[in-house]
Structure 1
Amino acid sequence: MRTLIVGAGISGLACADALAGWGQDVEVYEASGRAGGRMETATVADCRVEVGANFLSSTYRVIPRMAERLGVALRPIRARAGIIVDSQAVTYVPNGFAMVRAGVMGWREAAQAGWQLARQFPRLAKANPADPAQWADIDVPADAWCSGRFGRAFTNAVIGSSFRGYYFQGLAQTSASAALAMVSYGSRPFTTLTANPGLEAIPRALAAGLSIHYEAPVVRVERDRTGGALVLANGTVVEGDRIVLAVPAPAAASLVADPSPLETQLLSTPYSSGLLVVLACRRRLTERELGGAYGLLASPSQAGPIAALCVASRAGHAAPGADAVTVMFDGEAAERLISQGEPDADVVTRAVAALCELAPTLQEAVDGEASRVVRIPAAMPTCRVGRVGRVRRYRVEHRGPVILAGDYLAFPWSDSAALTGLWAANCVRVSGGRD
């Protein structure tokens, strides 16, 4: 059986890697000139910075195992973290009641959250946080569900700030299934991880052993009862027994003709926008600046457009005598500024102002001309109420030669996207796509 995979992001690579490991005939077609998708490492001011996924968690279940098998060494990032509240950076080492000691929440609020987490622990320990189908029974609005159980302070400081900072989304339209799945990663001791020379080392290692056609954009996917074909931009037609669509939903939707009602719903998944500004610094940040933390998340109650910050030197990726601070705008601000076509210079000015509000001493250190603006119109799939149920239905009801994979069948974190690729590979291997 010949399988054609559209997209060399982490989902497509995971799928192709699994199939190749089982001895299957598999080829990948990638529109760009590189593998990894939004798992991308760039160089700014001689510092290596992540302009997609910013770290991995040691409690992830898919990608760290791949990295170990591929010989990509993962190492911890500085443990100190923080949250932006009232335009102040409050930092701490995550453990126990760290947020209480840092003044982010009170003892009573922390005790309530701890008690509820203890009640949820059997589920948190058992269910896979990368698999949306295992959390579909709590597919209700996250803000009310989390606040009613964990309290408003914990919901804002931990869950809300994470969704705002990591995924550029709010909890108002998010499903509680995604919120609790994310909490499960932190329900046991964990370490944030990176790789040298950056996280892109993982997809590069995956790609090295695969047959990948770069700069080969697909413009149409054709399917019949027993097989399918890819039509490339240059007019070439490539036939296969199975086709896996492992690209974001907007791209996949443009390729599929006559989708089923369920496919249409999945391919219509909304995305949050990403706007990142990597500010080049002429010196290393001192320990006092931004509280010595690698990353800062903005509380949902924090006024302003900034969702998160991270510091290259504190991930071990800065050049001697230099540094880089990545400023990430929240989803609403990113969408507005991208749609308005805000010039790079103006976006950099906004980012510098936001950074210097937290660390005024950096004003003279930032080199605006060497900085970089990254726009990602479809950055992260949203997980609105109803989607996890549709994902579970699709896995049960899927028939035919075209198999949907990619982040719109996942939670908005990289480990979950990789899992969709493994599911698609298993679908090819075990059932052959079941006509």
Structure 2
Amino acid sequence: MDRRALLAAGLAATFAGRVRSQARHDAIVVGAGLAGLSAALTLQDAGARVMVLEAQDRPGGRLRTESGGGLTIDVGAVEVGPHYRRIRAWAERFGVGIRPITRRFGGFGYAIGDRLVAAADWPSSPANLTVGAEREIAPAALEARLLRPLSPIRTVDQAADPALAAFDRSAFDLLTEAGASAEAIRLMDRWTNAPSLAGASALGLFREFARSPNAPPPTGPEGASEIVGGSATLPAAMAAALAVPVRYGALVTAVSQTPSGVEVRLDSGETLRAGHVVMAAPLTAVALIAFSPHLPPELSSAVSGAVYARVTQVHLLPESPFWEDDGLPPSLYVDGPLERVFAVETERGVERLVCWINGDGAIDWDQMGEADRVERAVSELARVRPSSAGKVRGVFSWSWAGPLSGGIRHAPRPGEGLGQVWQPGGAHTRVFFAGEHTRREEHGMEAACETGERSARAVLSA
């Protein structure tokens, strides 16, 4: 019997011995992403009656698989990291395949100002305005070479240590004090996975670089892997295993605690009752919910002030290998609106191009309609890389800046305290919080599962 089965058996025995409340459900889970589904299945395994509410029309949260140009494309989480033991266990349980990742990115060229620069030419290029030893660092490596070495942590859990509060300030300020040039910071700011270096906690970025304190050895020789059929296959299988089907299109507007349980009100006017609630929605969605009693001040501030990193993607198909004309690799880092153009390669060659626009740079793109975004990406690529003109066609675009998702991931602000408010789990009497913003271990998909399972155990122990 594996670890999860042993845990479920123990919790089930404990839970079954209790007197059930008069509530219709033992627990309501808000959000059918990986965090919510992990929580719901862990509760169900222990014998609890669970209802999952999802405002969207599908499960998966930030795991979303789209089709375009004859391709199946993950627009959210893609990679199953080598330490993602929870993801691998859920996949094995539900017969979802995981295989060594089949796509890769090749080398990069650079479009800086009005110049195209090969990586080998960067140190001596007139476009290189960095200073001193920085000039030898490729633009794509600036963050790894200048910011990461400033980190005082090596494991994710260390980020919540109050003793490290001095690093919970703007990454811009920390880099400036460390002697990074204005140009190096500008280039990093263009591509960092945060709204901006000025608006991001350095400690928050360090947490992204760190690993789980309990990370086991990588599973198999392949390292990073992917879910067969697209990442959304896994949450779909998890949702299908629930005894009570997920309620889609169910937008929660209020959560009220009573002496005997919790009442959850939907925008339809319907009220549902349960013993406990697991709040596994992004904080941008949680901020739209009225809580009674009110959340404690520190928790309320963390919810209302939450910032998520925007990501907007535009997917393009090359109709001929235009990169052979200018001699640069097909992937390109750009210090203008396109930011990064990743050539997704398989054994058959370049499958597609993904324009990946991050953080504050995505704001203008997010205000456009999809057709305008695609047209702008094609024309902007032709402007910075003339060899692509007339040789690329748009497929579709995707933005994560919706009112419920907010962005692709939680991006702690300077001074946010880096999750200390969520320790140990952020319980508000009968309401427990899950989601990657509460994580203590690994990143991405694994973080969601870790927090969902942890919140479920907290409910069962309450």
| TM-superposed deviation, 1:243 | 0.5
Larger CA deviation: 20-29 vs 411-420: 411-420
Percent same amino acid at aligned positions? 23
AA matched with 1:308: R
Question: Which of 285, 291, 313 is matched with 1:276 structurally?
Answer: 313
Conserved? CA contact 2:338–2:381, under 8 Å = no
Corresponding residue number in structure 2 for 1:334: 362
Conserved? CA contact 1:72–1:201, under 8 Å = no
1:419 and 1:162 map into 2 onto residues whose CA distance is: 28
1:55 and 1:196 map into 2 onto residues whose CA distance is: 11
Residues 393-422 of structure 1 show CA distances to partners (whole Å, capped at 9, x for unaligned) of 332473411122234445984443443323
Query: Partner of 2:210: helix, strand, or coil?
Result: helix
1:272 and 1:290 map into 2 onto residues whose CA distance is: 33
AA matched with 1:395: Q
2:204 and 2:156 map into 1 onto residues whose CA distance is: 12
Larger Rg: 2
Conserved? CA contact 2:156–2:211, under 8 Å = no
Question: Which of 417, 428, 432 is matched with 2:459 structurally?
Answer: 428
AA matched with 2:422: Y
Conserved? CA contact 1:274–1:330, under 8 Å = yes
Gaps of 5+ in 1: 93-102
| TM-superposed deviation, 1:155 | 7.8
AA matched with 2:266: L
Query: Partner of 2:302: helix, strand, or coil?
Result: helix
AA matched with 1:266: A
Question: Which of 53, 62, 76 is matched with 1:29 structurally?
Answer: 53
1:292 and 1:185 map into 2 onto residues whose CA distance is: 31
Corresponding residue number in structure 2 for 1:95: none
Structure-to-structure mapping, 1:373-412, within 5 angstroms: 373-374=398-399, 376-377=401-402, 378-379=406-407, 380-389=409-418, 391-396=419-424, 398-409=427-438
2:379 and 2:252 map into 1 onto residues whose CA distance is: 42
Residues 128-161 of structure 1 show CA distances to partners (whole Å, capped at 9, x for unaligned) of 37x8536872423323435666966998699756
Corresponding residue number in structure 1 for 2:6: none
Conserved? CA contact 1:44–1:280, under 8 Å = no
Conserved? CA contact 1:42–1:51, under 8 Å = yes
Corresponding residue number in structure 2 for 1:139: 168
Structure-to-structure mapping, 1:294-309, within 5 angstroms: 302=335, 304-309=336-341
Conserved? CA contact 1:283–1:365, under 8 Å = yes
The verdict on how the C-alpha distance between 1:135 and 1:38 changes in structure 2, with shifts beyond 3 A counting, is farther
The verdict on how the C-alpha distance between 1:278 and 1:248 changes in structure 2, with shifts beyond 3 A counting, is same
Conserved? CA contact 1:41–1:198, under 8 Å = yes
Corresponding residue number in structure 2 for 1:75: 100
1:181 and 1:203 map into 2 onto residues whose CA distance is: 26
1:289 and 1:39 map into 2 onto residues whose CA distance is: 36
Conserved? CA contact 2:191–2:340, under 8 Å = no
| TM-superposed deviation, 1:46 | 0.9
Structure-to-structure mapping, 1:90-101, within 5 angstroms: none
Corresponding residue number in structure 2 for 1:10: 34
Corresponding residue number in structure 2 for 1:99: none
| TM-superposed deviation, 1:7 | 0.8
AA matched with 1:330: N
AA matched with 1:172: A
1:392 and 1:63 map into 2 onto residues whose CA distance is: 25
1:115 and 1:274 map into 2 onto residues whose CA distance is: 23
1:334 and 1:114 map into 2 onto residues whose CA distance is: 25
Corresponding residue number in structure 1 for 2:70: 46
Residues 109-143 of structure 1 show CA distances to partners (whole Å, capped at 9, x for unaligned) of 99xx889978979x52xx237x8536872423323
Corresponding residue number in structure 2 for 1:419: 450
| TM-superposed deviation, 1:73 | 0.7
Structure 2 residue 110 is the aligned partner of structure 1 residue 106:
no
Gaps of 5+ in 2: 1-14, 16-25, 121-132
Query: Partner of 1:266: helix, strand, or coil?
Result: helix
Corresponding residue number in structure 2 for 1:194: 226
2:325 and 2:48 map into 1 onto residues whose CA distance is: 54
Corresponding residue number in structure 2 for 1:97: none
Q: CA RMSD in A?
A: 4.3
Corresponding residue number in structure 1 for 2:255: 221
Query: Partner of 1:345: helix, strand, or coil?
Result: helix
Conserved? CA contact 2:151–2:203, under 8 Å = no
The verdict on how the C-alpha distance between 1:321 and 1:382 changes in structure 2, with shifts beyond 3 A counting, is closer
Structure 2 residue 403 is the aligned partner of structure 1 residue 352:
no
Question: Which of 262, 280, 283 is matched with 2:298 structurally?
Answer: 262
Residues 237-287 of structure 1 show CA distances to partners (whole Å, capped at 9, x for unaligned) of 221111111112221122232222122112111233333222244467878
1:85 and 1:414 map into 2 onto residues whose CA distance is: 32
1:398 and 1:290 map into 2 onto residues whose CA distance is: 56
The verdict on how the C-alpha distance between 1:154 and 1:17 changes in structure 2, with shifts beyond 3 A counting, is farther
AA matched with 2:379: A
Corresponding residue number in structure 2 for 1:177: 203
Q: What TM-score do the two structures reach when normalised by structure 2?
A: 0.71
1:290 and 1:423 map into 2 onto residues whose CA distance is: 51
Conserved? CA contact 1:274–1:335, under 8 Å = no
1:260 and 1:225 map into 2 onto residues whose CA distance is: 18
Conserved? CA contact 1:58–1:193, under 8 Å = yes
Query: Partner of 2:239: helix, strand, or coil?
Result: helix
How many residue pairs are counted as aligned between the two chains?
400
Corresponding residue number in structure 1 for 2:342: 310
1:229 and 1:331 map into 2 onto residues whose CA distance is: 36
| TM-superposed deviation, 1:291 | 5.8
1:178 and 1:265 map into 2 onto residues whose CA distance is: 17
Larger CA deviation: 247-256 vs 411-420: 411-420
1:321 and 1:119 map into 2 onto residues whose CA distance is: 38
